[in-house]
Amino acid sequence: MTTLRIAGGRVLHPDFSVTTDDVLVDDTSGEIVAVGDVGSGDETLDAEGCLVMPGLVNAHCHAAMTLLRGYADDKPLESWLREDVWPVEAELTDADIRAGTELALVELLKSGTTAFADMYFSMGEVAEAVAEAGLRARLGHGVVGVGKDEDAARADHEESLSFAREYDGYADGRVRTMYTPHSLTTVDEDRLREYVPEAREAGVPLHYHANETADEVEPIVAERDERPLEYADGLGMLGESDFLAHGVHSDATEVDLLAERGTAVVHCPASNMKLASGAAPVPAYREAGVTVALGTDGAASNNDLDLFDEMRDAAMLGKHAANDASAVPAEAVVEMATAGGADALGFDAGRIAAGRKADLAVVDFEAAHLTPTHDAVSNLAYATRGSDVRHTVCDGEVLVRDGEVRTLDEDAVRERAAEHARDLVARAE
């Protein structure tokens, strides 16, 4: 075993206490060996002046949508998807998706994110990019039934399942998979009845968009006389390892149902605010015992993948919506971005403790906007930016050292992505 000692920093513990301690990591098992006075390691990573925290988890993302960053803004979900996003997505090639995903991975790693969930297309390319970049991911081929005949829809579901079967455990187990029907309104009931049991058989979780907008809830209620998550439950789509994105328009019955089933919710406050979708009932979820994670959603509706931004947005939106300054406090958003995300994705990470996966972010607190440190958790939630991350470690490997990504060539990735984005948009017009 080769060990790495993350030395001289302050450490954020699972109970939110902060101590000055070292963290010892075994890069063979990829686990944290000890926290405290750990002796020397084979290698040292300097954390002087820094806070060592669990790596952030972006639990709902469409990574390659970085190519559409700033392409179409200031529209509600439905017209944004139909008029702008779907026509361009129809032109996407494998190479576009590879280029956009690599751009996303650079951004994720540099801002301290060590794991993410991705629902998109050409997922083999995404899995390869994740393998190369060194972080952890839960990946699924997104299935959209709109505008497809039965054969095409079936082929789409089959592709999602075959990707899930083939790539689960890929890249030394850093890549896990999932079955990802886009949402309860964009995929047919018959197909869900057919394929959800197959996903169960394959042993992969489900991830889908649910209750994102009021427009998505109303037709289900009108047609079926039940709430969308009751409909999902009837289809067997609320499993213990499943996690759904958004959950903005969930009523008390649905909140209780999620708690009972053990299904997690990924809160995406920036995307919800930008598309004016509403504010998720985060305090109600947490009170009921629902696992809540944080996600940026795609860069086209955010427009960045910085989870520090997302933490602040979650806290601000939560307070604003509840008209209560104590709603969604600092500890809650830090927990959502770390332990909550790891739990939702099914990774044994998100907490700094011996035996957990060594997925860590080392945040430089020696900055004007982080001085003084009365409360490190407050600084993380309200004042830190992704660019304050000095080192990122995943699975015991140093992926970002002193702000520099070691597994991808940042300049080349950025140039390639800009080129692909330009050509893609030109083809769609």
Q: What are residue 76's DSSP bridge partners?
A: none
Closest to Zn ion by CB, 107 vs 297, is: 297
Q: How far is the CB of 318 from Zn ion (least distance, A)?
A: 20
Residues binding Zn ion: number (CB under 5 A): 1
* 313 membership: H or E segment, kind and range: helix 307-322
Closest to Zn ion by CB, 297 vs 313, is: 297
The stretch among 88-96, 127-135, 296-304, 359-367 that binds Zn ion (CB under 5 A) is 296-304
Q: How far is the CB of 142 from Zn ion (least distance, A)?
A: 9
Contacts of 251 (CB under 8 A, 6+ apart): 227
Place of tokens 């709109």: 146
297 binds Zn ion (CB under 5 A): yes
Q: How far is the CB of 373 from Zn ion (least distance, A)?
A: 35
Closest to Zn ion by CB, 26 vs 297, is: 297
Rg (the chain; Cα; Å): 21
212 binds Zn ion (CB under 5 A): no
- Cis before 372 (ω within 30): yes
Q: Determine if residue 182 is labeled as part of a ligand binding site.
A: yes
The stretch among 122-130, 167-175, 221-229, 292-300 that binds Zn ion (CB under 5 A) is 292-300
* Selection from 308, 372, 361 nearest residue 52 by Cα: 361
Q: Determine if residue 212 is labeled as part of a ligand binding site.
A: yes
Query: Are residues 148 and 156 in contact, defined by beta-carbon separation less than 8 angstroms?
Result: yes
Q: Which long-range contacts (CB under 8 A, 24 or more apart) does 232-235 make?
A: 232/184, 233/257, 233/261, 235/189, 235/192, 235/193, 235/196
Closest to Zn ion by CB, 3 vs 211, is: 211
Cα–Cα distance for residue pair 84/227, rounded to 1 Å:
29
Q: Determine if residue 209 is labeled as part of a ligand binding site.
A: yes
Q: How far is the CB of 85 from Zn ion (least distance, A)?
A: 10
Helices 123-133, 94-110: axis angle to 10 degrees equals 40
Cα–Cα distance for residue pair 324/42, rounded to 1 Å:
49
Q: How far is the CB of 249 from Zn ion (least distance, A)?
A: 15
Longest CA–CA span in the chain (Å) reads 65
Q: Determine if residue 404 is labeled as part of a ligand binding site.
A: no
| Position of minimal CB gap to Zn ion | 297
Residue 157, SS3? helix
31 binds Zn ion (CB under 5 A): no
What residues from 92 to 151 belong to the interface with Zn ion (CB under 5 A)? none
Closest to Zn ion by CB, 186 vs 407, is: 186
Q: How far is the CB of 74 from Zn ion (least distance, A)?
A: 18
Query: Are residues 19 and 10 in contact, defined by beta-carbon separation less than 8 angstroms?
Result: yes
End-to-end CA distance of the chain: 54
Q: How far is the CB of 119 from Zn ion (least distance, A)?
A: 7
Q: What are residue 4's DSSP bridge partners?
A: 25, 43
Closest to Zn ion by CB, 3 vs 277, is: 277
Closest to Zn ion by CB, 10 vs 60, is: 60
Q: How far is the CB of 426 from Zn ion (least distance, A)?
A: 25
What residues from 246 to 265 belong to the interface with Zn ion (CB under 5 A)? none
Q: How far is the CB of 283 from Zn ion (least distance, A)?
A: 23
Q: Determine if residue 297 is labeled as part of a ligand binding site.
A: yes
Q: Determine if residue 157 is labeled as part of a ligand binding site.
A: no
Closest to Zn ion by CB, 35 vs 292, is: 292
Closest to Zn ion by CB, 232 vs 399, is: 232
Neighbours of 414 (CB within 10 A): 15
Q: How far is the CB of 209 from Zn ion (least distance, A)?
A: 5
Query: Are residues 239 and 261 in contact, defined by beta-carbon separation less than 8 angstroms?
Result: yes
Contacts of 338 (CB under 8 A, 6+ apart): 53, 54, 55, 56, 57, 350, 351
Q: What amino acid is encoded at 257 in this protein?
A: L
Cα–Cα distance for residue pair 406/45, rounded to 1 Å:
14
Residues in the chain: 429
The stretch among 77-85, 177-185, 293-301, 337-345 that binds Zn ion (CB under 5 A) is 293-301
Got the DSSP string for 97-144?
Answer: HHHHHHHHHHHHHHTTEEEEEEEES-HHHHHHHHHHH--EEEEEEEE-
Closest to Zn ion by CB, 102 vs 297, is: 297
- The binding site for Zn(2+) comprises 60, 62, 209, 297
| Residue numbers at the binding site for Zn ion (CB under 5 A) | 297
- The binding site comprises 60, 62, 89, 182, 209, 212, 297
- The binding site for substrate comprises 89, 182, 212, 297
